[in-house]
Amino acid sequence: MKANHILATVLALTALTAVHAQDMKMPMKPATGASAATMPLVEGEVRKIDVQKNLIVLRHGDIPNLAMPAMTMGFEVADKKILDGLKVGDKVKFQAEAIKGKAMVTELKLAH
């Protein structure tokens, strides 16, 4: 009987872990009918810049065209020039697209 209880607990924890892992996946696909040209720019804040790795970490709002909720995460940039003149703490507006399975910033400008 005790073995059945342990087995039931392990199976329940395994099921919960699998459900949680599915929730954490980022769909990285455009919303229906969305195109980067028609999507509004997303507000964000620069948290880190790594010019050598072509990366920027942004705290951002929802990114509708990627079906991505608000969070802080790192993005590659489509063009290294996007990082020119930026500093940590800058408020920005940007567009990100799924390119070769990665979320990539394709447009970025300082917010006014």
42-110: which CATH architecture?
A: Beta Barrel (2.40)
What's the whole-number mean pLDDT along residues 64-93? 95
SS3 state at 15:
helix
Amino acid letter, residue 27: P
Q: How confident is the model at residue 37 (pLDDT cuts 50, 70, 90)?
A: low
Rounded CA gap, 62 and 39, in Å?
12
Is the pLDDT confidence value at 36 over 60?
A: no
What's the whole-number mean pLDDT along residues 90-99? 95
Rounded CA gap, 71 and 81, in Å?
24
Domain assignments of the chain as residue spans, ordered by start: 42-110
Is the pLDDT confidence value at 23 over 90?
A: no
Rounded CA gap, 8 and 1, in Å?
11
What's the whole-number mean pLDDT along residues 14-34? 43
Q: Tens of pLDDT along 38-60? A: 677 999 999 999 999 999 999 99
Q: How far is CA 47 from CA 54, 82, 89, in A?
A: 14, 15, 6
